[in-house]
Amino acid sequence: MNEFTDQIQKELLVTMLKIREFEDSVGEMYLRGLTAGSMLHLSVGEEATAAGIGHAMQEGDYFTTHHRGHGIFIARGGKLDRMMAEIFGKITGYCKGKGGSMHIADIDFGHMGANAIVGANIPISLGGGFTLKYLGKKNVSVAFFGDGALNQGILYEAMNMAALWKLPVMFTVVNNQYGMGTHIKRASASLEFVKRAESFGVHGAEVDGMDVEKVWNKAGELLQYSRDGNGPTFLNSITYRFYGHGRKDPSPYRAKEEEAEWKNRDPLLLHKTRMIESGNLTEKEFQKIALQVRAEVDKAVEFAKASSEPEFPELYRDVYVEPYGRVGGK
């Protein structure tokens, strides 16, 4: 595991700023009718979980995400212009505009895809872990999913298989405590999710998902555990989404007092304050970084606006594999 340095602390700050600015900008573009598709799920408030784990991962690691995955891809180094173009449904996007907000992927980069079906990305990450072990690589396959997937049977099938074959997989719960409008306490008879994982022989831990340094540290420990050949791990990162389930959801199912309490624990402000108090950042430096990030996001928006929509034939490309011609003909 790497040593936590002042440089890493600054990189985490920049990453969280990028996620926050990108998500706020995407939300605005959605309301203006510039994005493709009818749904948009933002991860504002969850930046520490994405940044902490993303920076603890290494080159060559695989990952999949759920439908709220913009921030995770940014934390792994996703390009803002190509991401924005994909969300706009443009040909210059990662999936040439066919994936949109909920299905961004970049196989060459290790991103095996976002998935709008609850828990459906988990077995894909399991396959990634099998591949890494088969090839003898010291990498890890990470499955990011929300607390809504904690009661999906596929998760437990995947954990059982990962433990049985000692696969390098990290099952990561971005636990914002709400599956759409249902609080986790109304969906789960027991909230001891780490114990659930451990009952399958999966090494687990829980972390304050609003504290990026704690997330980075705990994720690093678990990832190293899997890199060393000890098998799968499970991380329950407790966080909170500041917006509703979708961009137009006013979240009437949450008390305003609850929302205010969590927003007072804004992971970005918590990290900024800690850095200023430690002497690793000044308010002036922060404002300069924020302006640079804002400019980068604005440039990504202009790139997406200026890009072309895919031509009709593009709809049929990259959908099916045609191995050596068609059966029974040329």
279: alpha, beta or left? (left if phi > 0; alpha if psi -120 to 50)? left
Q: How confident is the model at residue 235 (pLDDT cuts 50, 70, 90)?
A: very high
Query: Domains of the chain by range and CATH?
Result: 6-311 (3.40.50.970)
For residue 329, pLDDT beyond 60: no
Question: What does pTM read for this prediction?
Answer: 0.93
Both structure tokens of 270: 């918590």
Contacts (Cβ under 8 Å, ≥6 apart) of 64 = 111, 112, 113, 114, 115, 121, 122, 124, 125, 128, 142, 143, 144
pLDDT tens by residue, 155-210: 999 999 999 999 999 999 999 999 999 999 999 999 999 999 999 999 999 999 99
- Is the model's pLDDT at 327 over the cut of 60? no
Residue 47 has, within 13 A of its CA and on its CB side, a CA count of: 26
* 6-57 pLDDT per residue, tens: 999 999 999 999 999 999 999 999 999 999 988 899 999 999 999 999 999 9
Q: pLDDT (tens digit, 9 = 90+) per residue, 108-127?
A: 999 999 999 999 999 999 99
Which pLDDT band, with edges at 50, 70 and 90, does 75 fall under? very high
